[in-house]
Amino acid sequence: MTDRLAVLRASVEHLRRVIDDVEAFDPDVAAYPTEWTVADTMSHIGSGATIMKQNLENAVAGREGDPGFNQSVWDEWNAKSPTDQVNDALVADEKLLLSLESLSESEKSAFHFSMGPFDLDFDGFIGLRLNEQAVHTWDVEVAVNPSATLSDEVAGAIIDNLQLIIRFAGKARGEVTEMSVRTTNPARDFMLVFEGDAISLGDSAHSGDVDLELPAEAFVRLVYGRLDADNAPAGINQLHLEDLRKAFPGF
């Protein structure tokens, strides 16, 4: 099993490098999607970290959360200047990571967190944060590096847990069809099943040619609505890509 906490640490450090390595970073430049600025995206990363840190503390203490807490956090972050949204997000991101790393083995074993359709143990909770943090880090990085990709480590930590995300991210169009998918780095074989208004993803060994072959990081970005002609790897069938982008518009 991938050490998601180690991958999350690497992603947190990567985001800081992305911000620190760009001289006079413009927080108002468009991120991905373009209706969001870098500051907007960083505010989402920071507010999400603040909320998840509180959720972590509540779960460990066995107490119910304040129903108004999330809105108060969003209001606070929305009121920040763009520069503060960027800088404060780095701080909040690190604070959440340190809180996760500080838990004892017994606290990790006993950890349980429920939110909507999610019923998570400690590893699942980390995975929830990693998915959000890493994808939005890419949203920021691609603003200054159009060739940016998710790392193989991030892709490896996310790729085997896409089934639940696809259930909520996918927008089926009523037809019944299947598409074979093969990823590299790491190598995986999947079957995408479109049936009625639902999309599902299952493991499925393939022999010979497949409908779609691409790096795992690109498949993750596809599911999150972040793969288009400008940032897709070479060799992908453009008709398949166009259809899949409609099925996974992003969220």
Q: How far is CA 66 from CA 95, 97, 106, 120, 170, in A?
A: 20, 22, 25, 19, 31
Distance CA 45, CA 49 (A): 6
For residue 40, pLDDT beyond 90: yes
Q: Which residues of 162-180 are buried (b: 16+ CB within 10 A; e: fewer)?
A: beebbeebbebeeeeeebb
The string of pLDDT tens digits covering residues 106-165 is 999 999 999 877 789 999 999 999 999 999 999 999 998 999 999 999 999 999 888 888
Percentage of the chain beyond pLDDT 70 is: 98
**167 pLDDT tier (thresholds 50, 70, 90):** confident
CA atoms within 13 Å, Cβ hemisphere of 210: 20
pLDDT-based confidence at residue 199 (cuts at 50, 70, 90): confident
CATH class of the domain comprising 159-247: alpha beta
Q: What is the pLDDT of residue 18?
A: 94
The burial of 89, by beta-carbon neighbours within 10 Å (0-12 exposed, 13-18 middle, 19 or more buried), is given as buried
Give SS3 for 102. helix
d(CA 221, CA 217): 6
Residue 5: pLDDT above 90? yes
Whether the per-residue pLDDT at 1 is higher than 60: the answer is no
| Confidence tier at 248 by pLDDT (50, 70, 90) | confident
Q: Strand, helix or coil at 190? A: strand
**What's the CATH number for 4-148?**
1.20.120.450
CA atoms within 13 A on the CB side of 20: 8
pLDDT of residue 16: 96
DSSP SS3 for 195: strand
Reported pTM: 0.93
Q: Residue 19 above 80 pLDDT?
A: yes
Tell me the three state secondary structure of residue 1.
coil
Alpha-carbon span 220 to 218, nearest angstrom = 5
* Max Cα-Cα span within the chain: 55
Domain ranges, ordered by start, for the chain:
4-148, 159-247
Asked if residue 174 has pLDDT above 70, the reply is no
